[in-house]
Every structure is written in C-alpha cells, then in structure tokens.
Structure 1
Amino acid sequence: MRQSTSTVKLLNVAILFIASLAISMVVCNGQDLSRSDLLSCSSDCSHVIDLIHRHGVNQTCDTAGDGQFVAPSAYGPVFIPACETGDLSIVSVHQIAEIDDGCGPKFAVVISNCSTRCVEGFSVTAVGTLGRIHCFSPCTTVKVEKIHPNESLQVELTLPIEALAMGNRNGQVIGFQRLVIAIDSFDEFVETDEANNIKAYCASTLPFLEVQSSVTTEVVPSQEQVSQSVSVDTTSTQQLETTQPLTAQPAEQASVNDTTSSAVTEESADALQNAWQQLNTETSADVASEG
C-alpha cells in the first residue's frame, strides 16, 4: 500500500515537472515574437478592413490636420507637433508582367516619405477582391525595413495564386477585379494624413511596369576571318618589301645605258663629219665644171 502511494506521488511530480518545462518553453518562444510579426503572418486582411472603416479609401475622408496630434503612450496621451509628424503616401501602382510559376499576380508599389525622419519597420499589404472585401480575401503583407526622409521606394508584392480564381460565371473562372493597397497597414505610425495610406484600383486598368533593358553585343571574329586577315597582311608586307621605286635602276644597267649613249653620240658626230666632207667635195666639183 505504501509503495503504490509513493509511486503515484513520483508520477505526479514527473507530470508537474514536464508541464512546467513545456510552459516555460512556450513562454520563451513567445517572447521572441512581436505584435507585427504575429499580425503580418495572419492569413486574413481584417486589419485593412479596419483602416477602411477609420480612414476610408481613395481619400474619401479628409483626415489631414494642421495642429497637434495626440498619441497614446504608457504614460498617458502625448501631444506631437505637426512639424515632427511625417506622412507616408502611395505614389503609383503598376503590374509586373513577369509572373513566377505557382504564384499570383505581382505588383510594384512606389511609396514616398514626406518627413524629416527615417521610418523603419512598417508594413505594406495588398488585397485582391471580387466585389466586396472580406476577411479571407487573398492578401499578402511585406515589411519594409526603412525609408529615408524625402525618399521614394519601390516595393514588390505578390498575391496568392487563389486571386486568379475567386469566382465562377457560367463555367468561366473569374479572378480578382479590384486591388487594395495599404501602407502602414497595421496603423503603427502617427501621420499628418492617414487617408492617403489606402487606395483601391480596378485590376483591368492598372498599367504594366515598363522595363527598359539595353543589350550590348560584341562581335568576335571567327578563326577563318583571323587567318585570312593575317595572310592578307603578310602578302601586302611582302609586296611592299619587293616593290622598288620606278626611278631606281641597278648599277650594271646604268653603266650599260651610259656606254650606249656615248656610242650613239660618237656615231652621230662621224655622220655629221662625213656629210660635211661630201658637201665640200660636191661644191668644189661644181666650181671646176663652171670654169
């Protein structure tokens, strides 16, 4: 009887030890996660619906202010001057033509930071809708590390592949028809204008992103062309080496020409002298006959 009681006590102690160890492990793992990490991993877009309820869409609600802002804190409300409050806004949204296999449509969102301070760790969410938006509409959320003051930044978002098949019309599969973009989608930063953080677009009218790519081609000569050019160069070099000026003559040819010219000169002088003697003879003969 005593042994069974001690065995039950040992089992209870072992169960309590294992339970406390499991609880401590869960607590330790939970301390490494933040609110944004938990919410950004959620598969629903209820946080975007909350933004629409508070600030409208496409600036239907004018939430811009000129005075001070009141922000809650652990020590009560804090007044923030307008000069210290910046503004994140959506500049443009384009479709990206290149789509990866097994993924939905891809978009490029340009965001601007109209403030004097760097904004870090804000979220951007894209939601595809067919008619009304609901919590389980296909969506994706990315986290932007930082955007510097007065800087524009492009963020790429890819919707799940379920966005391409959200309905059925007479046997034809219908994809999303509207795209909702929300920056600072968890509303973590106080801004001068919250209404320009969320916009809706018609999917059929979104322009495609034009990518300008320059291709540089380098022509490499083939081996036959190289060999032909080398042979032509060697032939021209040999011709240049063997070709001589037209006025140049060999030494032997020059001496032969000199001898020939001197012989011709002597022959012409002898012929002139013979002709002169013959003329004098004929003249003296004529004089004698007349006498």
Structure 2
Amino acid sequence: MSRLKYVLLTLSFVSSVAISHCFAEPVAAPVNAENIRTDQVLGIRTHSCGHVIHLLMQTRMLRQSGQVGFGGAMYNPHLGVMSKPGDLQLLCVSLISDACEGAGPIYQIQLQNCSEIPVGNFRVSVVGACGQIQPYSPTAIVTVPRIEAGAVLELQIQLPLTCLAIYNPAGAAVEFNTLIVAIDSFDELIECNEVNNILILNRSEIAPLVVEETTVVEESIETTAPPAVDTAPVVEGGVSAPAAPASPMDSIDLDDLDLGEAEQTAVRFR
C-alpha cells in the first residue's frame, strides 16, 4: 500500500469517527429524578455506564502501580508553573428512601472539595448492578455546577426503576445488590488523588440517613415566695402565745406624738 493511500484511508477513518460523534446522543447529559421517571414511562433505555467502568479500571491500575493520582505541579506555557492540583473526595453514601413499586431508591451522596479553588461542571454517577457491572447497568447521572473550596456538598440521586429487574446469567430478573458511586465520573478534573472518587457498596449495608433533631431547652424562671415569719410571742416554756389581732392603734408611737402647749386651763367646780 502506497504511503499516500494510507494517509487518505487514515483521514477518511478519522473523519467518519468525528461525524459519528457529532450525531451521536451525548451520554453526559445531566439526569435528575424527574427525567428518570419520564424515561421509565417512555420506555427509554438506561444511560450507558461505560464511563464508570473506565473509571473502575483506571482506579484499579493506579492502585496496582502504587499511585493515587497526579502528584506533580501543573504547567501552563502561558501562565508558567501552577499550584498542585486539588482533590475531590467521596465521603459517604446514605439511603434516603428505598425502592417502591413505581420508583427506584434515592441515595444521598456527600463529597468534599479538598482544593484551594472552587470547581464545577463535573458529573456524579450511581450504578446499580447485580454482582457484576454491565455496560447498560441502570445508571443515573447528575451534574454539579459548582462547589466552593473546602466545601462539603450533599446530592440526592435516584436510580432508575430498571434496577429492580436486572437479568442475571440464569435469565431471571432480580433486584440489584451492588451500588457503585463515582464522583467526577467522566474524569474531567486533574486531581492529586484519583482513587478516592469511587465506592463499591453492598446494597444491604448502606445505612439510612439519620437526621439529627435539635432540642430547644426553654429556661423557666421560678418565683419563690419569701418564707412566712411567725410573729407570735414566745413565752417561757416554749409555748407560743396566741397572736393578738391587729389594731390601727398599734402603729401609733405615743413618744413621738406632738400635742402642742395648752393655752388655757379649764377648771370645773361642782
């Protein structure tokens, strides 16, 4: 094959791949709970989880090689040496509500931006699997528009209803028993730690979300009446004499009473 023909065939292949990608339906479209329910009613097949499979393989290779992520400093020819890349960390997963007859389970995902700058426009994916993940295992995807530096973010994601009817190798429809959760699931951010972005959880071991109740303690001011004073006189022998009834004359002090000088003396003879 001549070199010119080889170049033409290569260009033709690249052009066909580019055109197919232009018309292909994007799998990175944000998915929320309402879209999931609409897809279930319309019978639309679940989104592909190939990006999560790729992230699982990449994480496994990093662990095998003893690495965790990008450890060096980033370099930009226009800005020079930039600071060390930050990190997104998947903290925990909790159950909000379990699956029912008409809807899949809802989970709360808690993650933290362990970086010095805010980041955003990355995806979070959850996948329900029956032991082994498949390219079209039930998947839900949400987009995080922004998370501030050092902030903790909580997201609620609902799995499609198809997670309750996954066909196993024997051909029987069974419920999912494994939950795979991935943050930055399309690997769009450069991080110093890539292995803390994904968790594989046993469905039965995911604890329900515990909401802490705040108890308001009201301080009550108690008013205590002064103790009654017994004013009854005590006589010899320890026996109290009965108290005399109060009289208006008791409040008059004869020593302080000013009667004035008598101007005349009245004498009466019989």
After TM superposition, the runs of 4+ consecutive aligned structure 1 residues lying more than 4 A away are 57-61, 78-81, 98-101, 168-173, 212-216
For 2:54, the aligned partner's letter is D
For 2:114, the aligned partner's letter is C
RMSD of equivalent CA atoms: 3.7
Q: Distance in 2 between matches of 1:124 and 1:80?
A: 30
- Contact in 2 for aligned 1:57/1:198 (Cα 8 Å): no
Match of 1:55 among 55, 59, 65: 59
For 1:159, the aligned partner's letter is L
- Contact in 2 for aligned 1:88/1:113 (Cα 8 Å): yes
Match of 2:26 among 35, 38, 41: 38
Superposition deviation, residue 174 in structure 1: 2.4
Q: Distance in 1 between matches of 2:169 and 2:213?
A: 39
Q: 1:250 is matched with which residue? A: none
Q: Distance in 2 between matches of 1:107 and 1:96?
A: 5
Q: Distance in 1 between matches of 2:61 and 2:93?
A: 15
- What SS is found at the alignment partner of 2:134? coil
- What SS is found at the alignment partner of 2:191? coil
* Structure 1 residues 52 and 171: CA distance shift in structure 2, 3 A: closer
Q: Distance in 2 between matches of 1:100 and 1:161?
A: 9
| 1:38-74 Cα shifts (integer Å, max 9, x gaps) | 2223711011111112122996663235323479xxx
Superposition deviation, residue 166 in structure 1: 1.4
Whether 1:64 aligns to 2:69 is: yes
Superposition deviation, residue 165 in structure 1: 1.7
Q: 1:145 is matched with which residue? A: 145
Superposition deviation, residue 211 in structure 1: 2.8
Q: 1:208 is matched with which residue? A: 208
Q: Which stretch of the first structure deviates more once superposed, 105-114 or 61-70? A: 61-70
Q: 1:272 is matched with which residue? A: none
* Structure 1 residues 108 and 80: CA distance shift in structure 2, 3 A: farther
Identity among equivalent positions (%) equals: 30
- Contact in 1 for aligned 2:184/2:197 (Cα 8 Å): yes
* Structure 1 residues 124 and 80: CA distance shift in structure 2, 3 A: farther
Length-normalised TM-score, structure 2: 0.57
**Which consecutive unaligned segments of at least 5 residues does structure 2 have?**
1-21, 30-45, 217-245, 247-270
Q: Distance in 1 between matches of 2:174 and 2:62?
A: 25
- What SS is found at the alignment partner of 2:121? strand
**Which consecutive unaligned segments of at least 5 residues does structure 1 have?**
1-29, 217-246, 248-291
Superposition deviation, residue 102 in structure 1: 2.3
* Structure 1 residues 49 and 204: CA distance shift in structure 2, 3 A: same
- What SS is found at the alignment partner of 2:67? coil
| 1:183-206 Cα shifts (integer Å, max 9, x gaps) | 111111111111111111111111
For 1:39, the aligned partner's letter is V
Q: Distance in 2 between matches of 1:70 and 1:196?
A: 24
Q: 1:260 is matched with which residue? A: none
Q: 1:156 is matched with which residue? A: 156
Question: Which has the larger helix fraction?
Answer: 1
- What SS is found at the alignment partner of 2:68? coil
Q: Distance in 2 between matches of 1:67 and 1:201?
A: 31
| 1:220-265 Cα shifts (integer Å, max 9, x gaps) | xxxxxxxxxxxxxxxxxxxxxxxxxxx9xxxxxxxxxxxxxxxxxx
Superposition deviation, residue 131 in structure 1: 1.8
Q: Distance in 1 between matches of 2:75 and 2:54?
A: 20
For 2:55, the aligned partner's letter is L
Superposition deviation, residue 215 in structure 1: 10
* Structure 1 residues 149 and 94: CA distance shift in structure 2, 3 A: same
